[in-house]
Amino acid sequence: MMKKTLWVLFGFLSVSIGLYPVIYFVQDRKFGLLATKSDALLSDVFWNAGFYTHIIFGGLALLIGWTQFSPRLRRTRLSLHRNLGKIYFVSALLSGLAGIGIGTQATSGWVAALGFMSLGVVWVYTTFAAYRHIRAGRMMAHQKMMAYSYAACFGAATLRLWLPLLTNLSGNFIVAYQVVAWLCWVPNLGVAWWLNRRT
């Protein structure tokens, strides 16, 4: 029962946060984290290209990636699993690389910038490593590396859980954001490591 509940929660967070980028296309320009950005940065063509590449493809990766861990999908719909995997691979690389680029302008300075850029590097590396493993027929290594890849991807969901909590507890958005830049993904990798040790 607990395992099923956690799976449903995992899927709910993945889908809901995966769809979250839609809000940026229907809300005022100064919505969410964009409200913390300067007008000069928001008018920068290259930053905007990086930002929208990051949220669109990151949202898509988050939206479909969790389904890849379903044994039933792999067992009964292998072709669908492979096609979704290809979409995830491309989406993760595009979003991760864009995230590294826009990470240099992260709100609250170099601590947050280093955290988010490191997340991008880890996401790109683990995704590409997972791809190389499956191309070489190393199924178990592929599955374990994909756990790390999606743990990094899932940082988008855990960020939105931690940020309001830490902001309320500390009363300081800047400090909370600096902490969350690391807290949103490092523990996720720890969970992935623990799950991989059990397989």
Residue 67 lies in a domain: yes
Alpha carbon distances (Å) from 92 to 11, 46, 85 = 18, 19, 10
pLDDT digits (tens, 9 = 90+) for 96-122: 999 999 999 998 899 999 999 999 999
| Half-sphere CA count of 32, side-chain side, radius 13 A | 13
How far is residue 43 CA from its own chain's centroid? 25
Residues lower than pLDDT 70 in the chain: 29
Q: Residue 159: its pLDDT value, please?
A: 97
The single-letter code of the amino acid at 8 is V
Residue 164 lies in a domain: yes
Burial class (CB within 10 angstroms; exposed 0-12, middle 13-18, buried 19+) of 65: buried
pTM of structure: 0.93
Residue 2 lies in a domain: no
Residue 33 lies in a domain: no
Q: How far apart are the first and last CA of the chain?
A: 20
Residue 130 lies in a domain: yes
Please give the tally of structural domains in the chain.
1
Contact 24, 55 (CB under 8 A): yes
Range of the domain at 46: 39-198
Q: Residue 38: its pLDDT value, please?
A: 87
Residue 19 lies in a domain: no
Residue 191 lies in a domain: yes
Residue 152 lies in a domain: yes
